Amino acid sequence: MSADIRNLLTDFSKKFGVPAVAGGVRSSDGVPRYEVVGVRRRGSDDEAQRDDKWHIGSVPSRSLRCSTQDWWNEATRAGINP
């Protein structure tokens, strides 16, 4: 399952040009599984880590201000976003 999550996140990162993305699922056995792909900063080789702090509060509002919700809709269709 981890490889599936990584593949989804890698595809998402490439499609939308984000330097890093994290995501996860809770499987039917109740165990949460999550992965992180990408780098902490564009142009850096410093890989993003699971224990990094992520700021997500402004992402939806920025999307609404720019009138671009393609990434949100795509994530929902891909099952990344509930």
Please report the pLDDT score of residue 56 as a whole number.
Answer: 66
Could you give the CA distance from residue 29 to residue 21 in angstroms, rounded to a whole number? Answer: 24
* 47: phi then psi, degrees, rounded to nearest 5: -70, 140
pTM reported for the whole predicted model: 0.61
Could you give the CA distance from residue 18 to residue 14 in angstroms, rounded to a whole number? Answer: 7
Residue 14 clears pLDDT 80, i.e. is over it: yes
Over residues 23-60, the pLDDT tens digits come to 888 878 888 888 999 999 999 999 999 899 887 655 55
Over residues 15-25, the pLDDT tens digits come to 988 999 998 88
Please report the pLDDT score of residue 16 as a whole number.
Answer: 87
Residue pair 73/60 in contact by the 8 Å Cβ criterion: no
Tokens 């099952």 belong to which residue? 79
Neighbours of 9 (CB within 10 A): 24
Please report the pLDDT score of residue 71 as a whole number.
Answer: 62
